[in-house]
Amino acid sequence: MGDTLARNPEIIPVRIHREDCSGLIIDVQERLVPHMFRHHHLLHYIRILIEGLQILEVPMLITEQYPKGLGPTLEPVKQALKEIPVIEKSAFSCCDEPAFSREAEKLNRKTWIIAGIEAHVCVLQTVMDLISLNHIPIVVADATSSRNPVDKEVAMNRMRQEGAIVTTTESILFELARISGTAAFKSISKLVK
């Protein structure tokens, strides 16, 4: 019948390029993770995301919220991150932590691939601040969680409405890889199987 999909002319499609990306893993800590909704699922995708970003040579930062009370980064995640230094914070938003701001400035990247917890607190506030600083936050939904699934759902909707891109682990890794048949593509294909 000739039906066409209407497209909002104000929305400009954004292709994500790994040369302009940094990864950010927020507060995946010992005393927080066990309380997250579907925490085994969450950890599975966080590890795939970290390993995939490393294959693609995307630099990463990792934060811990008040580690004295909430414990360090969970050991399997810390092992996957290898030599990446941890930034301790007391602010909910990473952007309110001077040490994070210094490290982010050194990376000099505009696009942030974000995963971690909790979606409705530290992730949301960080995303909102990154948007206000003219960065492009990409929230990886299957590698982000909250204790209550409703909190995560509402936070994802708000972040999307404010201008964040919401995606999945597999989708972002293949978008960054761009071409099949490369060594990076083959390694990522093994990761997501």
Residue 21 annotated as catalytic = no
Spot the catalytic one: 89, 94, 129, 152: 89
Rg of the chain over Cα atoms, rounded to whole angstroms, equals 16
What region does 93 belong to: left with phi over 0, alpha with psi -120 to 50, or beta? beta
Residue 53 has a CB neighbour count (10 Å cut-off) of: 26
Question: Which residue in the list 21, 27, 95, 142 is annotated as catalytic?
Answer: 27
Query: Does 27 participate in catalysis according to the annotation?
Result: yes
| Catalytic residue check, 95 | no
Provide the CB-side half-sphere exposure for 72 (13 A, CA).
7
Query: How many helices (H) and strands (E) are present in the chain, helices listed first?
Result: 8, 6
CB atoms within 10 A of CB 168: 15
CA distance 49 to 91: 25
Adjacent-strand bridge partners of 89: 65
Q: Which of 21, 94, 95, 122 is catalytic?
A: 122
Task: Please list, in sequence order, all residues whose beta carbon lies within 8 angstroms of the beta carbon of residue 35, skipping any fewer than 6 positions away.
Answer: 147
192 and 173 Cβ atoms separated by less than 8 Å? yes
Kindly list the catalytic residues: 27, 89, 122
